[in-house]
């Protein structure tokens, strides 16, 4: 297993089929919570759903289009973080993440986003990191603001979750701002 140590208790691990059961367990036990801001939980009914997600993610990783990692806290899968897209021409990545409800408020996502941001700038030669968060998802927006991302704008009707249309706040961090 390829892992990246963030802190003594926090690691990011390149997604692999062994994580499908852990993802399913989280999705099954926290479907209502996750469905507030994510479209996929309602469709995540079995291991096959996550095995397909993992296979697609690994293909996209091999093709240089994305990087998807499990978030491991104290050795347990507690969420997911990724470069949802890697745009080599624009030198920009977009980070996405979700975290188990019972692990909220521990700084896990903030530390994981900071680590991926560092990798984007120092190892991948990117000049911009972007995060899109639903307007009402204040915890996710707080992560962006805590790490120095700037609100660049609002996209209306950006995503449909169930019967709701969500507006998204787009946050960006330029390498020059990150370095200072």
Alpha-carbon distances of 157 from 135, 166, 167, 172, rounded to whole Å = 11, 5, 5, 20
Provide mean pLDDT across the span 79-84.
Answer: 98
The residue behind tokens 């079995």 is: 46
Q: Model's pTM, two decimal places?
A: 0.95
The CATH code of the domain that includes 155 is: 3.40.630.30
Question: Strands, DSSP E only, in 35-127?
Answer: 67-73, 76-87, 92-99
**Tally of structural domains, the chain:** 1
Q: Which domain holds residue 111?
A: 3-179
Phi then psi for residue 29, to 5 deg, are: -80, -20
DSSP 155: E
Sign (positive/negative) of CA torsion 7, 141, 13, 50? positive
Label residue 28 by pLDDT band (50, 70, 90). Answer: very high
Looking at the predicted structure, is the pLDDT value of residue 85 above 80? yes
pLDDT single digits (tens) 122-169:
999 999 999 999 999 999 999 999 999 999 999 999 999 989 999 999
* Range 166-169 contact pairs with CB under 8 angstroms and sequence separation of 24 or more: 166/37, 166/134, 166/135, 166/136, 167/134, 167/135, 168/132, 168/133, 168/134, 168/135, 169/132, 169/133, 169/134, 169/135, 169/141, 169/144
Phi then psi for residue 145, to 5 deg, are: -70, -40
């Amino acid at each position: 297993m390829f892992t990246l140590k963030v802190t003594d208790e926090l690691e990011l691990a390149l997604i692999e089929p062994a994580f499908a059961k852990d993802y399913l367990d989280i999705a099954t036990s926290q479907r209502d919570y996750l469905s507030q801001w994510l479209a996929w939980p309602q469709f995540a009914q079995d291991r096959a759903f996550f095995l397909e997600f993992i296979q697609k993610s690994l293909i996209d990783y091999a093709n240089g289009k994305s990087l998807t990692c499990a978030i491991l806290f104290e050795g347990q899968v507690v969420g997911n973080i990724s470069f949802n897209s890697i745009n080599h021409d624009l030198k920009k990545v977009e980070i996405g993440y979700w975290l188990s409800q019972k692990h909220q408020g521990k700084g896990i996502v903030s530390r994981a986003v900071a680590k991926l941001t560092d990798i984007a700038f120092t190892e991948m030669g990117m000049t911009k990191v972007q995060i899109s968060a639903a307007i009402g998802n204040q915890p996710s927006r707080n992560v962006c603001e805590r790490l120095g991302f700037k609100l660049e704008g609002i996209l209306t009707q950006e995503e449909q979750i169930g019967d709701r249309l969500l507006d998204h706040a787009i946050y960006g961090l330029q390498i020059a701002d990150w370095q200072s």
